[in-house]
Structure 1
C-alpha cells in the first residue's frame, strides 16, 4: 500500500512522517532507510533520524540486515501470538512427514524469554535414539532450534533478551554476548542452527525457525541424532527436510490467522 504525500499535512510534520513510517512498516514489513526516505520524499538523513526516534521508544526495531520493522511497543512477542495448542495443531502433520524423512527424533519448540521450551515432537523408532523432551526448558543458545530463532533477532534485541548476562551451561561454547552475536552471524549465513553436543553430550541437533505470515519467528523445529552415528554428509538433506517442514507449518499458521 502507498500512502500519498499529497494528503493534508499534519501541524507537526515530523510526527506525521513518523506515523506514516509506522503504517509503512505495518503494511510492507521491514524497510530500509532508502525506502523510507523515498516513501516520505525526504533526505535519507531525515528518514534515519525518524526511524531512530521510533526505535528509541520501542515503536521500531532493526533486524539482522539493519532494516527497520515494527518494534515491541507495537507488536506482542511473536511466539505468544499463537497458543501452544495452535502451534501443535499446525505443526503435527509436518512433524510426521519430517520424522519419516530423516528417521530421527524431531521436536517443536518455542522461545520463552531467553529459553526454549519443547512443546511437541515425534520420537525415532530406532533402537539408539534421542528421547523427546516435551515440557523441558533450557537456554535458547544451546539448542539448534533456539539458535535458529535467535538468529532472526537484531543485536540490540539479543542484548535486551540477555540483559542479565548469558546464563552458564556446562556444555555450551557460548559464554558471552560477544560469542553469542558471533555465533548468530554464522547461523544467519548458514540459514539453520546446529548443536554439536552443546545441549548435552551425545546429541547432535539441526534446526530451523518457523515464522508467522509476517516473517517473525514463532517457533522452531529440530532433528536430534545420537552423535555416535551422526553423519555430516546428511546435513544438507536434513536441513532441506527441516526447511520444507517449516514452510508447511508457516502456511498452516497463515490459514489459521486468516480464519480468525
Structure 2
C-alpha cells in the first residue's frame, strides 16, 4: 500500500515554510547570502536575515567571516553532492523558465536518492489556478513522475534492493507492490516518458522525461505539472515532444558545464 498523498496543511505557516526551504537550499546547494535567500523566497532581506539567524541559533546553519551562510551541523551532505546538485539546478533553471513560457504550466527538476525523489528546482506558471512551487519537497520515488523515470533506469534486482523490506520496518504498508511496480517501470522504460495522474497529489497531472549526462545515465527528471482539469490527453504527444526538446537542450548545457 502506498503512503498517503501529500497535501498542503490547511493552515500553512509561511515563516516555517520559508525556514525549511532555506535549510534545503543550504543542504543541497551550499553557501547563500541574505540577498540570495531573500530573492529565492521572494521576501524582504530583513525577513531572510531573521530566518537565517534562527537557523544559525538552532545549528542548521553557520555564518562565515564573509557573511555567507552554510549548512550547519544538523545539515550534513558531502561537498561533492552539494556542488553537483547546485550545478544541476543552476543549469536547469533557464530551461525550466523557457519550458513554463512554452507550455504555460509549472515545471520541475527532480533527483532520486534511494527510494525518495527530491524536487531541486521549480518554476511556477502565472495562471491563477496552478501547481505551486515544489522545490525542496521529498516524496516516495514510486509516487512521483521523475522518481518513476529514474527508478525505470534500474535493473529488477536494483529495484528490489532500493525497496528492501528493512527500509520499511517501521511502516511495512509503505513498501510498494514490487511486482506491479517493476511491470510499470518496464513500460516507462519503453515509452521514455511518464504521465502521473494524481499519484503524488490529488487533482494534479504531471508529465515528465529523463535528463541524462554525457554517459547516457539519467541524472534527473524534467516535468511539467498542471491541475487535472486542464490536462488534455490529445495534447500529450506535443507536450512530450516539448519536454524532450527541453531535456536535450539542458543535457547539452550540462555537458559543457565545468566539472565539480
- SS of aligned partner of 2:165: coil
Q: What do the CA deviations read for 1:175-215 (whole angstroms, capped 9, x no partner)?
A: 31111101101111211012110111100011111111101
1:130 aligns with 2:131: yes
Shift of the 129–217 alpha-carbon distance from structure 1 to 2, 3 Å rule, reads same
Residue 180 of structure 1 corresponds to: 181
Give 3-state SS (helix, strand or coil) of 1:98's partner: helix
- Matched with 2:141 is 140
Task: Work out whether residues 209 and 244 of structure 2, in 8 Å CA contact, stay in contact via their aligned partners in 1.
Answer: yes
Question: In structure 1, how many angstroms separate the alpha carbons of the residues matched to 2:176 and 2:159?
Answer: 14
Change (3 A) 1:146 1:124: same
TM-score by length of 1: 0.64
Q: How does 1:55-204 map to 2 (within 5 A)?
A: 80=81, 83-164=84-165, 175-204=176-205
Larger Rg: 1
CA distance in structure 2 between the partners assigned to 1:202 and 1:136 by the alignment: 18
Report the equivalent of 1:247: 248
Q: Which residue of structure 1 lines up, in the alignment, with residue 237 of structure 2?
A: 236
Distance of 2:135 and 2:167 partners within structure 1: 24
Gaps of 5+ in 1: 1-78
Q: TM-score normalized by structure 2? A: 0.64
Where does 1:199-210 land on structure 2 (aligned, <5 Å)? 199-210=200-211
Distance (Å, rounded) in 2 between the aligned partners of 1:91 and 1:178 = 34
Distance 2:167 2:236 in 1: 28
Q: How many residues align?
A: 179
Q: C-alpha separation between the residues in 2 aligned to 1:156 and 1:111?
A: 17
| Alpha-carbon displacement from aligned partner over 1:60-102 (angstroms, at most 9, x marks no partner) | xxxxxxxxxxxxxxxxxxx959622101121122111111111
User: Which residue is 2:221 aligned to?
Assistant: 220
User: Where do 5+ consecutive residues of structure 2 fail to align?
Assistant: 1-79
Matched residue, 1:13? none
In the alignment, is the contact (CA less than 8 A) between 1:165 and 1:177 conserved in 2? no
What is the CA–CA distance in structure 2 between the aligned matches of 1:228 and 1:195, rounded to whole Å? 14
Q: 1:127 to 1:116 in 2, by over 3 A?
A: same
